[in-house]
Amino acid sequence: MKMLINVPETVVADALRGMAAAHPELTVDVENRVIVRRDAPVSGQVALVSGGGSGHEPLHGGFVGPGMLSAACPGEVFTSPVPDQMVRAAAAVDSGAGVLFVVKNYTGDVLNFDMAAELAEDEGIQVAKVLVNDDVAVTDSLYTAGRRGTGATLFVEKIAGAAAREGRPLEQVEAIARRVNDSSRSFGVALSAVTTPAKGSPTFDLPAGELELGIGIHGEPGRERRPMMTSGEIAEAAVDAVLTDLGPRNPVLVLVNGMGATPLLELYGFNAEVQRVLGERGVAVARTLVGNYVTSLDMAGASVTLCEIDEELLGLWDAPVSTPGLRWGM
């Protein structure tokens, strides 16, 4: 496989050096693998810290900035960051108002963020945690016990980040983050396998003419493998899987998310089908976001995330944000 890299061993460090050069509003510690808002800590504001394996960009480092994350900790490709990174990040951004850890439900992330919370509290930093577990495709996978954390991570980080920017206390920011997660569900589809730099070839076999319904963001197996379907048929399968579990009564936020290798031309066409299905199912749409946000390196495919929303959460979603990967209103 051809890749725009030097050697697999330096992929993450090289990306962080490039990020630092492109975004002077961030402080990027390449050696210790921590990305921080340059103006941190922000007095009187709860800080949000997240992180996970690299390969899902712009998640999480691309979401560091006003109105979203205060810091992010990138691990190696598809590998959890370590507790020392998280503690370093928490110390860099804590203003005394406390720190909220946003954790995707993958075993390594959960264990390491739990350990980091204990270490940070030993240093006098007040820490709360929210676990994102929105994927309805499977209950358990190769990487986690329970549901995987996927597209709803963006909703949690954006809406909780807006609450923190308003100066709300830690317990309120945590409660909002939990409410967003509880109100969100996701379902993903893979059209091709993912290729990691270390392996240099697809990590699983997906024959031509087939797709995987319910795939995870590390290439974990989904619910079933089927012959290739049309965009409309895929939208019906994904939306119905989400609605069966979520059953929204209020309008929803919609994220049509590319897995890394699917062009916007296809994603916008897929979004048209998602909107059609939602309309046929009687679900009102408040806002829609389309693009590559929670990716899986070079995997072709898409995921659909819905978040049932009320006026308070919609106001926080619409609030200004300025990060490398998401920005409006500033």
Residue 95 in this model has a pLDDT that exceeds 70: yes
Can you spell out the DSSP letters for 83-151?
HHHHHHHHHHH--SS-EEEEEES-HHHHHHHHHHHHHHHHTT--EEEEEE--B-S-S--SS-SSSPP-T
User: What is residue 138's predicted lDDT score, i.e. its pLDDT?
Assistant: 80
Q: Which of 18-22, 115-119, 196-200, 311-315 has the lowest mean pLDDT?
A: 196-200
Average pLDDT over every residue of 285-299: 97
Known active-site residue 60: no
User: What is residue 143's predicted lDDT score, i.e. its pLDDT?
Assistant: 62
Q: Residue 187: beta bridge partners?
A: 304
- How big is the CA angle at 132 (ends 19 and 38), to the nearest 5 degrees? 30
Q: What is the mean pLDDT of the chain?
A: 96
Can you spell out the DSSP letters for 125-136?
--EEEEEE--B-
Q: Considering only CA atoms, which of 218, 315, 212 is closest in space to residue 260?
A: 218
Residue 192 in this model has a pLDDT that exceeds 90: yes
Is residue 100 a contact partner of residue 46, using CB atoms and an 8 Å limit? yes
Catalytic residue from among 23, 56, 60, 165: 56
pLDDT band for 261, please (50, 70, 90 cuts).
very high
User: What is residue 281's predicted lDDT score, i.e. its pLDDT?
Assistant: 97
Known active-site residue 23: no
Residue 104 in this model has a pLDDT that exceeds 80: yes
Residues 6+ apart with CB under 8 A from 98: 46, 47, 125, 126, 127, 128, 169, 170
CA 137 to chain centre: 16
Cα separation, 305 vs 163, in Å, equals: 21
**What amino acid is encoded at 96 in this protein?**
G
User: What is residue 270's predicted lDDT score, i.e. its pLDDT?
Assistant: 98
Residue 205 in this model has a pLDDT that exceeds 90: no
User: What is residue 142's predicted lDDT score, i.e. its pLDDT?
Assistant: 64
Question: Helices in the chain by DSSP H: which ranges?
Answer: 11-22, 83-93, 107-122, 152-165, 170-182, 231-246, 264-280, 311-318
Cα separation, 279 vs 275, in Å, equals: 6
For 31-52, how does the pLDDT look when each residue is reduced to its tens digit (9 = 90+)? Answer: 999 999 999 999 999 999 999 9
Q: How many CA atoms lie within 13 A of 175 on its CB side?
A: 6
Catalytic residue from among 76, 81, 218, 271: 218
Q: Which of 25-34, 196-205, 242-251 has the lowest mean pLDDT?
A: 196-205
For 299-320, how does the pLDDT look when each residue is reduced to its tens digit (9 = 90+)? Answer: 999 999 999 999 999 999 999 9
Residue 63 in this model has a pLDDT that exceeds 70: yes
Can you spell out the DSSP letters for 265-277?
HHHHHHHHHHHHH
Residue 256 in this model has a pLDDT that exceeds 90: yes
Average pLDDT over every residue of 97-116: 97
Residue 165 in this model has a pLDDT that exceeds 80: yes
User: What is residue 88's predicted lDDT score, i.e. its pLDDT?
Assistant: 98
Residue 24 in this model has a pLDDT that exceeds 70: yes
Is residue 170 a contact partner of residue 97, using CB atoms and an 8 Å limit? yes
For 125-146, how does the pLDDT look when each residue is reduced to its tens digit (9 = 90+)? Answer: 999 999 999 999 987 666 667 8
